[in-house]
Amino acid sequence: MVDPTNAPAPAADLPAPPAPRQQTIALVDDDRNILTTLSIGLHAEGFATRVYADGETALKALLENPPDLAIFDIKMPRMDGLHLLQELRAQSRLPVIFLTSKDEEPDEALGLAMGADDYIAKPFSQRLLVARIRAILRRSELARSPAEAAPAADLPEPVQRGRLKLDPARHQVTWGGRSVSLTVTEFLILEALALRPGVVKSRNQLMDAAYSDDVYVDDRTIDSHIKRLRRKFRAVDPEFAAIDTLYGAGYSFSDG
């Protein structure tokens, strides 16, 4: 028989922890099939979506009720993705990914220079897109409020290599004190090289640093990212030569 004086007190009703906020992705494309496919795939990954069929409609909505991230097609009627980004950047730092075609490299370069966070060429893997979205959102959250996003002890320290300074917590890069705007993928590749200056990293090693385990990309994709990295740094320093190529082996960073 249980002694009522020793019976455990009834458990107090504790408030349930708040549910995590659902992140919202805005999709801007004049192709309804792409909008539908992307929406279904992103809903399956736990995101909410808003869809817009043209840039003019999207611009007003993105400024009045910003999502967490937007994905733009470049080629659209009324207002294309480049014009939309230009108008958006005048008033907002909303993270943006461009969808491009393989023959749109000049537009990709212009979009990145105007402030896009990344681009993905069509046709693309849904897994690759989701991996890029999650990486950008993580870095965006840290950049907005690093002190609240993680304890100070958990934040990665800035990396200084000669004239290069990398701040992973804020996704900021400078060369000789001048800012260089990089996509998430470019940042991760550069970080992998700069953390071990002088050590040659193969394409496979750089792919491991820049992409999640379940994403496959052709190893020549790394070559394209290296070309863009060099081009961006040479825009602020025409003498930039810190990324070396060892043909047949890979790339290394020289901080001399």
Residue 121, φ and ψ in degrees, nearest 5: -85, 140
Q: Which DSSP helix (H) or strand (E) runs through 16? A: none
If we measure between CA atoms, which residue out of 251, 226, 230 comes closest to residue 241?
230
Asked if 84 and 61 touch (Cβ cutoff 8 Å), the reply is: no
- Angstrom distance (rounded) from CA 14 to CA 21: 20
Q: Can you give the pLDDT at residue 119?
A: 80
Of residues 224 and 4, more confidently modeled: 224
State how far the alpha carbon of 217 is from the alpha carbons of 18, 95, 180, 244, in Å: 38, 23, 25, 22
Asked if 28 and 87 touch (Cβ cutoff 8 Å), the reply is: no
Residues composing the chain = 256
- Angstrom distance (rounded) from CA 110 to CA 95: 16
Of residues 177 and 124, more confidently modeled: 177
Give residue-wise pLDDT tens across range 45-96. 999 999 999 888 999 999 999 999 999 988 888 888 889 998 998 888 888 9
Asked if 255 and 162 touch (Cβ cutoff 8 Å), the reply is: yes
Give residue-wise pLDDT tens across range 206-220. 887 776 554 555 556
Peptide bond into 123 cis (omega under 30): yes
DSSP 8-state secondary structure symbol assigned to residue 78: S
State how far the alpha carbon of 16 is from the alpha carbons of 9, 12, 13, 20, in Å: 20, 12, 9, 12
Residue with tokens 């001399």: 256
Q: Can you give the pLDDT at residue 149?
A: 47
Asked if 154 and 207 touch (Cβ cutoff 8 Å), the reply is: no
Give residue-wise pLDDT tens across range 2-52. 455 555 555 556 665 555 678 999 999 988 998 999 999 999 999 999 999
What sign does the dihedral 244-156-93-207 (CA atoms) show? positive
* Residue 150 reports pLDDT greater than 50: no
How confident is the model over 171-196, as a mean pLDDT? Answer: 88
What count of Cα atoms within 13 Å lies in the side-chain half-sphere of residue 30?
11
Q: Can you give the pLDDT at residue 148?
A: 47
> What structural domains does the chain harbor?
24-144 (3.40.50.2300), 156-253 (1.10.10.10)
Q: Can you give the pLDDT at residue 186?
A: 85
Asked if 53 and 33 touch (Cβ cutoff 8 Å), the reply is: no
Position 146 confidence tier, pLDDT thresholds 50, 70, 90 = very low
In the three-class reduction of DSSP (H, G, I as helix; E, B as strand; rest coil), residue 190 is classed as helix
Task: State the chain's mean pLDDT as an integer.
Answer: 81
Position 129 confidence tier, pLDDT thresholds 50, 70, 90 = confident
If we measure between CA atoms, which residue out of 104, 54, 114 comes closest to residue 80?
54
How confident is the model over 226-246, as a mean pLDDT? Answer: 92
**What's the order of all strands across the beta sheet hosting 172-175?**
159-161, 164-167, 172-175, 178-179
